[in-house]
Structure 1
Amino acid sequence: MSAISWLLWGLTVVAPAAAWLAVLRRERPARTQFSVGLFAALLGAVAFVPAVLLEEILLRWAGLDRYARTADVATLVYALLVAAPLEQGLKVAAVAPLVRTRKVVEPIDGVVYASTAALGFVTVHNAVYLWGRALPSVDIARALLALPAHVAFATAWGFTLGRDRRRRIGGRWFNVAWLGAALFNGVFDHLVFARRPVAMLAALPILLCAGVIALVAVQSLLRQGEAISDARVSRLLTSMTPPSIGAVREALRRTERPVTLRWIVFGALVTTGVLTACLAGAVALGHRVGIDFAAVDRAEAQVAAMVPLVFIGGAAMSAFPIAGYLVARASATRSVLEPAISAALAIVGSLVLLGLAAPVAVVFAIAFAPVAFGLACVGSWMGMSR
């Protein structure tokens, strides 16, 4: 490795971890608290060792290449059912000693230690991944995208750990959060590391949604901690004021009028119809203006492939707020519950159809599903009766 490669390797691997630990030191000035956080990062780093050893054994046995950069169904199945659950499980194992020794005291501790363990894990992952590669390259972008994503995914089950009064690993909500983290972790890693560079665009919605959810979770736990004690609250975090989980729950609550099944079914059909119309219109308009949609399948046309992907993706995303608005106006609802359920059904139906027609495309649909659901809720909120 050249001097420039060494410098870029250090900036990509060491600098983010050092910055995180500096923030941790500032926000948790007590020596014991910082030491526990540092220990969590160390445990997360150690957890990467069995992960990479087991994955290498399984990859050789199955004859797969995790960095093949091809649309291979077997690689996708491996990422979703083997690699991601294994990695998330080892991150939980890294936090388990802290839970058993009762180091998780305040509600925010669950998120802090889970995210710090994930930071240690992904830091070692990036160090190994970039070692020996010719830098600068697109691999730096892959590593930098993986860092906040892994931290945000771990925040999901760390949040449930902090919310649980008994501070225990397990339980219904912990398992749901862990499964969600493993699913999106697998999809994200497949898009970023196992596909061509243009596929990283599809990973951005996952990163955005995971970041927003993590921020909301942290704010909720900080408020819970304030109610329990007079703990010091970070000025950095309190300066960001996303909607609380209670506000989101209030928007999705049932009103005096019971939920109507016919409007849910009708809304799902409307969402599917609007989505189909938007996609058809985008293809027709794209052909008229000369967009080459076949460029997506050509490995040598990375830049050219971004244009049709952005065009089609934008058309698909625009369908959900439109459909949510139409369903809310037609049903005269006073909450976003019915349009939200309708959008969820339409998304699930689209995933099933894609799974039957083109299984590899499912990973892209899952990547955009959280954004689509959120846009549908925004559209229905704008159209609901007040």
Structure 2
Amino acid sequence: MGLGALAEKTVAELYPEMVKWRRHLHQHPELSFLEKETSSWIAEKLREFGCEIRTGVGGHGIVAVIKGGLPGPVIALRADIDALPIQDEKECEYASKTPGIMHACGHDGHTATLLAIARFYNENRDKLSGERRLIFQPAEEVTPGGAIEMVRAGALDGVDVVYGVHLWTPLPYGSASSKPGAFMSAADEFVIDIEGKGGHGGLPHNAVDSIIVGSALVQGLQSIVSRNVNPLHPAVLTIGSFQAGTTNNIIAEKCQLKGTVRSFDETTRFMIHYRLETFVRHTCDMYGAKHSYHMRVGYPPVVNDDKEAARFFAVAPTLFGETGTLEAEAITVAEDFSYYLLEKPGCFMFVGAGNPDCGAVYSHHHPKFDFDERAMKKSAALLIGMAEHYASEHAE
């Protein structure tokens, strides 16, 4: 029996352990860049399995290396390990025990999935062609993120291809999706501080009203996407916060706007940055207001390799069926898996984890977020299937 066929059977046998691992992690979440205990726990499990590991990679990251008994390619598989600053509102036995912190995005499931894959590969080294490099990455949720530091620390050195999965509750359990090319957007954040001249609400001619300036920016900035971006290149510019003023009869001297930009290609992305800064400067100058502007550049877009996306559409139907294998639409959510895809060919995939029957109906980052744990079996089988399909094509 080949590894691909063996994987589904073995992963099914490991499923009770996967649930146990996931629930332990769910009860003991840690925030981005602070995953010390999570990392130690993962390392302990990997050592129990007999894996060769590197710890402290790019922070609290871990790289497990499993070398096969047969020649072949080096294939990387990645899971993220961090949680979010959200109070867990679920009523279940495995709810977070840490006030104000929970796994509200499925990273606990990603980690449990990759642990099962580590155990599977380590127990089948003699049948393994090449090397499997398992990346347990910290700090996906907060920029600058953990992926870029793991890349800098050599996590992908010598790797031929890289794959990652996200458990995704908007998709029902039993389905999976991906797409070639741009899949997930870049996400950048900006802050605009405006300083006018305060004054009496009845004497506006003696003041520079920062609220008027801010309002002009809220309206005018929308023209960047509608009139400067090619309509065939998706982009979003949103003002999410407008803070100014204290009472009804005082002209506000200061105003602050916060917003986000989402885009799918670097040309559009940085054109928007340039136009935004230019528009802010000219608008404030026109009203006679001072300003400061700061753009925080976030993750690049997730761009799947065309050939590796085609591999997904060859492998996934064997696990999800033809009707359960879907071509995803591009989504304006960011993921720092993008940094791995800037370095190596690969594919990022969604595995359906939504199920009303087990309460998995809430969106990611919701206080009641949960997922159908059976999706972890599907994720493990998909990642192993992708790796073994690639290995069979690139055997030495």
Which has the larger strand fraction? 2
| TM-score, normalised with respect to structure 2 | 0.31
| TM-score, normalised with respect to structure 1 | 0.32
Which has the larger helix fraction? 1
Rg (Cα) greater in structure: 2
